Every structure is written in structure tokens, then in C-alpha cells.
């Protein structure tokens, strides 16, 4: 098994503590030859991983030694928070030289991380003037819409061209466009008409025209489409790249699936953090201070919820003096409300993530939620009733607890379902509703129900 | 805006209630021509969406009218739970005819959903004997490893071939391999040596050999690699397809990014369900009964936690009679424990999802968690102390509550960090720890701390 484990990485970079130590020595001794020899053929994604183990200044030294093309890709592969630290080490001319090597979409991402005052300078220093123009074009879009995700680099062919002209265009652009999935076909006004796959081009007779070959039911997205919807379109139709058009249907750029994979991963992370009540994008290796800051807001909101709960229970102090056992069931009530609420929200989140074309009406959804809640409520309230009787609890209190539980399940289901729907309508991330927000709200609601029922029945 | 919304879908299928009604009529009147005319050119993914609106028998009618190739893709695009209902409508020969049209990996997925007794029959009925062999090969692998995700359909070229031979191979396989990203290069023993991109083939002189062109630092994965790791490799290196090799390095198949996008989406859904305490893969449109069944297990576990808590508080009945205000702070204590625990687990989940090559030592991680917990604990306990004094709460009780809170934050952080790490080591999905599991455990732990502190200090 040991052996198998090793084999698993045979085709990827073999990273060892030994190598890191040697690299450390090479940096200290300024042994550029060692750095070049060992890293120039390494995948930039692996170099990014290695550099995380070094101080920013040491990394800077390594990046200077490497080919500019490689350094650019390494910087591109870094996480945003690490990258912004690195970028501070470079001046605008150096950054411009790196951006020259990157696709326009990646270049724009990096420019967006620079201080406002540096942005214009970097763009002005770009040697490749077409790239500069492309970047300016892309900067007009919000980062989370198709326009903000697309790259301007793509291969397009006029519908009237011959296949040979098409191949010539691929040759001309080969250096600029790293990954070619298909050639997009446009008319004289640059309106997208369709696409030809590379496979078809390879297999076609040279004398054929693009017109004879192209596939006209190409799926495209518009520049302002939300990234979540772009991801859903690419997932649904199994696309590896999607052309982006403007309102007039003109071809503006293309989005490749690797960027969408990143979008999907980030959205999942964001949702997880919201569900857990973490208010900033933090990772385990962030500083103690950042981690604390990311966690405190929701803890404090939960704390005020708890203090409000304490004030509320205080109103019933006399009831508790009369029947102290009433206090025993507080955790049961609040926990059930919390669990039911989060379950309900999570099911709504699932629906919102994979929007169906024909949604059931709001009323129909609520009725279904109610049906599920009634079933769950009956089971929970029933078991608790049985247990309480077996354990010899006072029968009146047992009845109160079960009635309260049943109602808490109903209310928490309703709250858990409606809150994410409302947040979504308001344009707020509905995952917020599946976190401490709903737990805190349901805690208070649960206490309200429980003590009201108790007060009137005991 | 209305208008823009409409434009957004212009290149995708325009689905309307009107069309659905017409299709319903066509099905009832057996108007095959209408069905053929409107659906034969529609993307199979869209047909799948449409069929969800009809009864299984009606859908079956539509699928019979459509070309076998289209029906196969429609079935392939359906969600697993819907698909299994559909498959029951077809006999083994009909299923075999559809599988003939699908890639081997998709065919295997469908076979795995059939009753055991039907599987052999379906494979035996396959017309394409090579496909039958490929399917048998793939069935040997678990569904969640590279071997279970890969398709046997790919283009490979011997390293000694000329580019022309390579193009001939593409022509020969063109029908079997829908999407070609690159041609994999192997030696005479079928050992993977590298790859040639289609772009290079298009631009190469015909007299060149594969040997002169191919790229030898191809990234591959081994057949038994876990799907999570395959997804991470493809994401990290921005791959659109990855070749799969066996322990001897022989080329066994390839995995395309669309399948990995599905894996990533499913894993995120699974994690969300675990965090929400939902024990089966359910969606809002599942039956009331399924939804209830998926939710009850964790509700019942939470309920027993609550009952245990009630028993525990019962031990302190006399303390509560003495200081009923002690009961007021129960929700504050349990809510804080729950919130802190889920935050901690979620941060660990994040780390586990993007495994770093050099993990910090366990001790270092725990010390950091402790530092964050101490900071959070001081802030929360401090504010609560202040608020209690302002609100005129008994000073001894205020001290008890704050001491308990501080300790609950510490303990819940520790539990929330260690539990997912332990589950992960045991091979259990660590997301389980970020759900009701940790909340229930922390509720009990919180009560234990609170009442112990109270009992000794009051």
C-alpha cells in the first residue's frame, strides 16, 4: 500500500522536504542555476504550492530567476490573499510584464487586486497594446457575471472563409490562445452564428467552406448573465467552453470550464461558511486575528439572542419556581427548533441551486412543508411523550412539552422554508438563512411557544 | 429588463407552458410527427427537463418516437432517482439498444442502477461487442474512484506513428469519441508516454512523427485514485481531460471534466445535507414520505440529546429552586456552544477539502484553535458580563455565566476541531461533524460545564 501511495503521484510533481531544504539553500546562496534547473520544467501550479513554504521575499527571488512566462503563471495560480502580498513586492512595470503573458481574464483578475492608483499605470505599461485594449474592455464588467469571467482570447472564423483560412487563423492565434476547443463562426457584423469543433476541422477536406461545416445550434451566454447561471448552463449541457455574446448577439469572448470549476468550488465554500456563521473568507492557515474576526460577528449575534432569551424566560420566573422541571426541557425545545429550521433551509437551498423551469406555486410548496412538518412533529412529540411518561415525569408537564414541541417543529419548518426564499428574492445569499441566523431566531421562537403553552396549561 | 431576461435564453431551449400543452395533446393523439419535428433537434438535456413534467408512461411514449440516439442521451441526462423509474418501463433489449449509443462510462452508470439479475442480460444483448467488453472492464471498479469515472473511449496513437496515421485514427474513432481534447501517446506496450493536443496536430506538417511533437509531461491519475483527489488534480492543473493509467502505467481510459463537475456538485450537495442533518439525498420535489424519512433520524438523535439534557438538569433541581435565574441562561450557553462548534468544524472541513502538501502538525493546529477560542471566549464572556451587570443581574450568577461561557467556547472549539479530523481518519465524511452531531454533543457539554460551575460557585 505504501508503494501504491507513492505511485499515485508519479506523474505529478514529487515534492519532498529534502527538495525544499535544497531550494532554501539555493535561495540563500543565490544558486540561480539550481533554481532554474529544478523549476523551469515544473508545472506552475506546483511552483505556487512550493512558494507557499517560503517567505515572500524568498519567493520573489525565485520568481525573478524563472522565465517571465513561468512567473506569470505561478502568480496567476496563487490564492488571492497570498497573491496580494506578492504583488506588493513588484513595481507596476514588472507587473505589466507578467500580465503580458497571461490571458486577458486572468490579467483582469490581478488588476482588480491592485490599488486603484496603480491600475492605470500597469495598463499603460503593457507592451502588447491589443491586450491592454482587451483588459480595458473586460474591466467594464462586474466580476461575478459572464463578462467578468470571459477571456477575449478565442479563435473565430468568418462564415464565408474556407477551412484553410480557418487553419491559418488558428496558426496566427496559436500562441495567444492556449486551449482551443472549437472555432467560433461569425458573420461580417461579428454576430455569433455557430461553431466548428477542431475534430471536424482536422477531418475536413481543405476545399470545404466554414459555411458547409459549422454547427448552428451553439449554446451561448450573455455578458451580464450571473456566474451562478453560467455555471448551471455549462454543467447542464456538459460544455468545456461557452461563447459570450452581447445584447446584439455579437461575439465578445469565451468562458472556459476551468474558470467555472473555480466558481463552483468558491460558491460551495461560501455557502459552507455562511451555514457555519463565518463572515469572511478565512482558512485554517490564516492568522489568529483574522480567524477571530471572521467568527465573532455571528457569535455576538447569537449571544444577544441568548441574552434576549434570558430576559424572556425571566418573565416566567414564578412559573419556574412553581414547576422547576419546566426548565429541564429548554435545551430540548431550542435544539429541536434549530435542527428543524436548518434542515428546512437546506432543502430550499438545494432547490434554489438547481432551479427547475417550472416551480411549484408558493402555496403548494408551503403545504408540502407543512405536511412533512406535521409528520415529523407527531413522531417527535409522540416519542417525547412516551419517554416522559416512562421516566415518571409529571403528566401535565409532559403534555405541555409535547404540544410545544409539535408547534416548534411546525413554526421552525415554516421559518426555515420562508427565510431563504425571502432572502433570495431580496438578492441576499439564501445560505445565510441556513446558519446561526435561523438557529437564533428559532431559539427565541421556541422559548416563546414553550413558555406560553406552559403558562396557560400548568 | 423583462426583455433582457428573455434574451438571456435565446440560444437555449425556449420552454413554454404553451409548448407543454401542445406536446401533451400530441402524446394523447399519438401525433408522432409533431413530437419528432419539435424535439429531434432539441438538446437532450432540454428534453430531459421537459419529460420531468409528464407521467412516466407518457415520457416512455415520447422516447419511443425519438431517434434511439437521442433517447439514450435523454435517459443519460436524467437524475438517478427519476431514471430508475424510467428504466423499469424498458426491457433488457431496449436498454441494451440505448447503451449502444452511450459512452462506456455512462453505460456503466446506468447498468449499476439496474436490478442485479438484469445486468448480465443487458450486457449480453449489446450489439457492439467492443462496448460490451469495455463495460465489463469498467464494472470492476468502485463507482467513486478514477476507474469508475473513466470512459474507455479515447484516441491514442503509437509514439512511432506519423501525424497522418494519427489523423486516420481520429477519423476511424470520430464516431465513438464525441469530444477529443488531445491524442494520448503510448508505446508498444500501451504505456502512456504523453499527449499531443489537437491544435498541434492541425498545425503540424504531415510528414512529422508523433515522436517529434508530443508533450511528455502529461498529468495522469491511477485507476484507484479517489474521485475527490481526481477532482482536486483536475482543478489544480486546469485540465479538461485526464488519462487514467493502471499500476504498470498502461493507458486504461480517460476522465473528462464534465464528469468531474458533476462530482464536485454532488459532493457539495452531500456536504450541505450532512451539515443540515439530512440523512438521505432528497430534493424539495421528493415525496412527503421521503422527505420525512430523510429528516427524522437526526431529529430523533437531537431529541434524545435534549431528553438526556433534561435528565441532567434535573440533577440540579434544588439549585434551580434556590436561584431560578440560573435557568434563564440555558439557551445562551447551548446556543454559544453550538455556534462555536459548527464554526470550528467548518474551518477544518475547508482545510480537508483543499489539502495542503505540508500540513502543520496536529499540536500546532490545536494551539492555534485554542488561541482563537481564548480571544472569542474573552470577548463573549466579557460582553455578557457587562450586559448582566447593566441589567442588574445577581453578580454571582453573572460571574458563573461568564466563566461557563468562556469554558464552553474553549471546549466547543476543541470538539469542533477534533471531531472532523477523527472522522476523516476513520474514513467517515467529516461534514457529519459540522451538523446536528456537534450541536447535540455541545449542548450536553455546555450544560455540564454551566451547571457544574453554578453548583460550586453559588
Instruction: Tell the CATH topology of B16-142.
Output: MgtE N-terminal fold (1.25.60)
| B446 close to B354: Cβ distance less than 8 angstroms | no
Q: For residue A220, give the C-alpha cell.
A: 451561448
- Supply the angle between the helices A92-99 and A68-77 in degrees, to the nearest 10: 90
Q: Which residue of B has its CA nearest to A8?
A: B222
Question: Shortest CA distance to B257 belongs to which of A181, A396, A322?
Answer: A181
Which residues on chain A are in Cβ contact (under 8 Å) with B337?
none
Contacts by A113-119, CB closer than 8 A, 24 or more apart: A113/A80, A113/A83, A113/A84, A113/A87, A114/A87, A118/A92
- Record: contact A350-B236, CB cut-off 8 A: no
A414: Cβ–Cβ under 8 A, 6 or more apart, which residues?
A: A344, A366, A369, A370, A373
The DSSP string of A119-174 is HHHHHHH-S-HHHHHHHHHHHTS-TTBHHHH-BS---EEETTSBHHHHHHHHHHHT
Question: Which SS3 state, helix, strand or coil, does residue B359 take?
Answer: coil
- Among B7, B264, B383, select the one facing A222 at the smallest CB separation: B7
How does pLDDT run across A402-456, given as a tens digit for each residue? 999 999 999 999 999 999 989 988 988 888 888 888 889 999 999 999 999 999 8
Gap from B303 CA to chain A (nearest CA, Å): 6
**Helices (H), ranges, B362-394:** 362-390
DSSP state of B151: B
Question: How far apart (Å, rounded) are the C-alpha atoms in residues A432 and A435?
Answer: 6
Which residues on chain B are in Cβ contact (under 8 Å) with A303?
332, 336, 380, 383-384
- pLDDT tens, position by position, for chain A (458 residues)? 333 333 333 344 566 778 888 899 999 999 999 998 888 888 898 899 888 888 888 888 999 999 888 999 999 998 887 888 888 888 899 999 999 999 999 999 999 999 888 999 999 999 888 899 999 999 999 999 999 999 999 999 999 999 999 999 998 888 888 888 899 999 999 999 999 998 899 888 878 999 999 998 899 999 999 999 999 999 999 999 999 999 999 999 999 999 999 999 988 888 889 888 888 888 887 888 889 999 999 999 999 999 999 999 999 999 999 999 999 999 999 999 999 999 999 988 888 876 655 556 778 888 888 999 999 999 999 999 999 999 988 999 999 999 999 999 999 999 999 999 899 889 888 888 888 888 899 999 999 999 999 998 87
DSSP state of A388: H
Strand A182-186 to A156-158 pairing: parallel
Gap from A379 CA to chain B (nearest CA, Å): 8
Which residues on chain A are in Cβ contact (under 8 Å) with B171?
203
Which residues on chain B are in Cβ contact (under 8 Å) with A222?
4, 7-8
Q: Which helix (H) or strand (E) segment is A284 a member of?
A: none
- Among A12, A202, A233, select the one facing B167 at the smallest CB separation: A202
Distance separating the N- and C-terminal Cα atoms of chain A: 65
| B20 close to B53: Cβ distance less than 8 angstroms | yes
Q: Which residue of A has its CA nearest to B275?
A: A275
Is the ipTM value over 0.90, yes or no?
no
Question: CATH homologous superfamily for B156-265?
Answer: CBS-domain (3.10.580.10)
- Supply the angle between the helices A330-353 and B330-353 in degrees, to the nearest 10: 40
Gap from A9 CA to chain B (nearest CA, Å): 8
- Among A217, A349, A376, select the one facing B296 at the smallest CB separation: A376
pLDDT at A14: 60
How does pLDDT run across A100-150, given as a tens digit for each residue? 999 999 999 999 999 888 999 999 999 888 899 999 999 999 999 999 999
Burial class (CB in 10 A: 0-12, 13-18, 19+), B29: exposed
- Among A234, A295, A346, select the one facing B273 at the smallest CB separation: A346
Gap from B409 CA to chain A (nearest CA, Å): 10
- Record: contact A199-B201, CB cut-off 8 A: no
pLDDT at B7: 36
- Record: contact A167-B202, CB cut-off 8 A: yes
- Record: contact B303-A376, CB cut-off 8 A: no
A22-49 residues labelled b (16+ CB within 10 A) or e (exposed): ebeebbeeeeeebbbeebeebbbbbbbb
Longest dimension (CA), chain B: 97
- Record: contact B269-A353, CB cut-off 8 A: yes
Q: Which residue of B has its CA nearest to A402?
A: B303
Sign, Cα dihedral of A351, A357, A358, A361: positive
Question: Which SS3 state, helix, strand or coil, does residue A56 take?
Answer: helix
Which residues on chain B are in Cβ contact (under 8 Å) with A171?
203
Strand A251-256 to A241-245 pairing: antiparallel
- Record: contact A284-B350, CB cut-off 8 A: yes
- Among B15, B249, B343, select the one facing A277 at the smallest CB separation: B343
Gap from B117 CA to chain A (nearest CA, Å): 32
Q: Which residue of B has its CA nearest to A216?
A: B11
pLDDT at B360: 64
Which residues on chain A are in Cβ contact (under 8 Å) with B430?
none
Which residues on chain B are in Cβ contact (under 8 Å) with A40?
none
Instruction: Tell the CATH topology of B288-457.
Output: Tetracycline Repressor; domain 2 (1.10.357)
pLDDT at B9: 36
Q: Which strands sit side by side in the sheet containing A251-256, from one edge to the other? A: A221-222, A241-245, A251-256
Q: Which residue of A has its CA nearest to B352?
A: A284
- Record: contact B302-A224, CB cut-off 8 A: no
Strand A156-158 to B156-158 pairing: unpaired
Burial class (CB in 10 A: 0-12, 13-18, 19+), A326: buried
CA-atom Rg of chain B in angstroms: 30
Question: How far apart (Å, rounded) are the C-alpha atoms in residues A283 and A8?
Answer: 27
Distance separating the N- and C-terminal Cα atoms of chain B: 65
Question: How far apart (Å, rounded) are the C-alpha atoms in residues B81 and B95?
Answer: 17
What's the full length of chain A, in residues?
458
- Residues B42, B44, B48: CA angle, nearest 5 degrees: 110
- Record: contact A276-B277, CB cut-off 8 A: no
Please give the backbone phi and psi of residue A430, each rounded to the nearest 5 degrees, phi first.
-65, -15
SS (H, E, C) chain B: CHHHHHHCCCCCCCCCHHHHHHHHHHHHCCCHHHHHHHHCCCCHHHHHHHHCCCCHHHHHHHHHHCCHHHHHHHHHHCCHHHHHHHHCCCCHHHHHHHHCCCCHHHHHHHHHHCCHHHHHHHHHHCCCHHHHHHHHHHHCCCCCEHHHHCECCCCEEECCCEHHHHHHHHHHHCCCCCCCCEEEEECCCCEEEEEEEHHHHHHCCCCCEHHHHCECCCCCEECCCEHHHHHHHHHHCCCCEEEEECCCCEEEEEEEHHHHHHHHHHHHHHHHHHHHCCCCCCCCCCCHHHHHHHHHHHHHHHHHHHHHHHHHHHHCHHHHHHCHHHHHHHHHHHHHHHHHHHHHHHHHHHHHHCCCCCCCCHHHHHHHHHHHHHHHHHHHHHHHHHHHHHCCCCHHHHHHHHHHHHHHHHHHHHHHHHHHHHHHHCCCCHHHHHCHHHHHHHHHHHHHHHHHHHHHHC
pLDDT at A148: 94
Which residues on chain B are in Cβ contact (under 8 Å) with A440?
335
Which residues on chain A are in Cβ contact (under 8 Å) with B278?
343, 346-347
**Helices (H), ranges, B126-256:** 129-139, 146-149, 163-173, 198-203, 210-213, 227-236
- pLDDT tens, position by position, for chain B (458 residues)? 333 333 333 344 566 778 888 899 999 999 999 998 888 888 898 899 888 888 888 888 999 999 888 999 999 998 887 888 888 888 899 999 999 999 999 999 999 999 888 999 999 999 888 899 999 999 999 999 999 999 999 999 999 999 999 999 998 888 888 888 899 999 999 999 999 998 899 888 878 999 999 998 899 999 999 999 999 999 999 999 999 999 999 999 999 999 999 999 988 888 889 888 888 888 887 888 889 999 999 999 999 999 999 999 999 999 999 999 999 999 999 999 999 999 999 988 888 876 655 556 778 888 888 999 999 999 999 999 999 999 988 999 999 999 999 999 999 999 999 999 899 889 888 888 888 888 899 999 999 999 999 998 87
Burial class (CB in 10 A: 0-12, 13-18, 19+), A265: middle
Domain boundaries, chain A: 15-142, 156-261, 288-457
pLDDT at A18: 84
Gap from A117 CA to chain B (nearest CA, Å): 32
Question: Which SS3 state, helix, strand or coil, does residue B191 take?
Answer: strand
Beta pairing partners, A194: A185
Beta pairing partners, A253: A244
Architecture of domain A15-142: Alpha Horseshoe (1.25)
| B409 close to B376: Cβ distance less than 8 angstroms | yes
Tell the residue number behind the cell numbers 457555519, with chain if given: A276
The gap from C-alpha B42 to its chain's centroid, in whole angstroms, comes to: 28
Domain A156-261 CATH assignment equals 3.40.720.10: no
Amino acid at each position: 500500500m505504501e508503494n501504491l501511495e507513492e505511485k499515485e503521484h508519479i506523474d505529478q510533481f514529487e515534492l519532498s522536504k529534502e527538495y525544499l531544504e535544497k531550494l532554501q539553500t539555493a535561495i540563500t546562496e543565490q544558486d540561480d542555476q539550481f533554481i532554474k534547473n529544478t523549476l523551469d520544467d515544473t508545472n506552475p501550479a506546483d511552483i505556487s504550492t512550493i512558494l507557499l513554504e517560503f517567505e515572500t521575499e524568498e519567493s520573489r527571488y525565485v520568481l525573478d530567476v524563472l522565465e517571465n512566462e513561468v512567473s506569470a503563471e505561478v502568480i496567476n495560480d496563487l490564492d488571492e490573499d497570498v497573491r496580494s502580498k506578492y504583488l506588493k513586492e513588484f513595481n507596476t512595470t514588472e507587473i505589466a510584464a507578467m500580465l503580458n503573458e497571461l490571458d486577458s481574464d486572468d490579467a483582469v483578475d490581478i488588476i482588480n487586486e491592485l490599488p486603484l492608483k496603480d491600475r492605470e499605470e500597469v495598463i499603460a505599461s503593457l507592451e502588447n497594446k491589443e491586450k491592454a485594449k482587451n483588459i480595458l474592455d473586460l474591466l467594464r464588467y462586474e466580476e461575478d457575471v459572464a463578462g467578468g469571467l470571459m477571456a477575449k482570447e478565442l479563435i473565430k472564423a468568418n462564415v464565408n472563409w474556407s477551412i484553410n483560412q480557418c487553419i491559418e487563423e488558428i496558426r496566427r492565434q496559436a500562441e495567444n490562445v492556449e486551449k482551443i476547443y472549437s472555432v467560433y463562426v461569425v458573420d461580417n457584423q461579428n454576430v455569433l452564428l455557430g461553431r466548428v469543433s477542431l475534430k471536424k476541422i482536422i477531418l475536413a477536406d481543405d476545399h470545404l467552406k466554414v459555411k458547409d461545416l459549422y454547427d448552428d445550434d451553439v449554446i451561448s451566454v450573455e455578458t451580464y448573465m450571473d456566474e451562478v447561471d453560467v455555471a448551471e448552463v455549462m454543467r447542464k449541457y456538459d460544455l468545456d467552453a461557452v461563447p459570450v455574446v452581447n445584447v446584439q448577439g455579437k461575439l465578445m469572448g469565451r468562458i472556459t470550464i476551468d474558470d467555472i470549476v473555480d466558481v463552483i468550488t468558491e460558491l460551495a465554500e461560501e455557502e459552507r461558511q455562511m451555514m457555519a456563521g463565518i463572515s469572511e473568507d478565512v482558512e485554517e492557515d490564516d492568522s489568529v486575528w483574522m480567524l477571530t474576526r471572521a467568527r465573532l460577528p455571528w457569535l455576538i449575534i447569537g449571544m444577544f439572542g441568548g441574552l434576549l432569551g434570558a430576559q424572556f424566560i425571566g418573565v416566567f420566573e414564578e412559573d419556574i419556581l412553581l414547576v422547576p422541571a419546566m426548565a429541564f426541557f429548554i435545551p430540548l425545545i431550542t435544539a429541536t427548533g434549530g435542527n428543524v429550521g436548518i434542515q428546512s433551509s437546506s432543502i430550499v437551498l438545494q432547490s434554489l441551486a438547481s432551479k427547475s423551469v417550472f416551480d411549484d406555486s408558493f402555496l403548494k410548496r408551503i403545504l408540502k412543508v407543512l405536511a412533512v412538518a406535521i409528520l415529523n412533529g407527531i413522531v417527535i412529540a409522540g416519542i417525547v411523550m412516551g419517554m416522559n411518561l416512562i421516566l415518571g415525569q409529571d403528566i401535565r408537564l409532559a403534555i405541555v412539552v409535547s404540544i410545544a414541541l409539535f408547534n416548534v417543529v411546525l413554526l421552525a419548518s415554516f421559518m426555515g422554508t420562508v427565510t431563504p426564499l425571502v432572502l433570495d428574492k431580496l438578492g441576499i445569499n439564501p445560505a445565510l438563512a441556513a446558519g446561526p441566523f435561523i438557529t437564533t431566531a428559532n431559539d427565541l421562537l421556541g422559548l416563546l411557544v414553550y413558555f406560553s403553552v406552559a403558562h396557560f396549561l400548568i
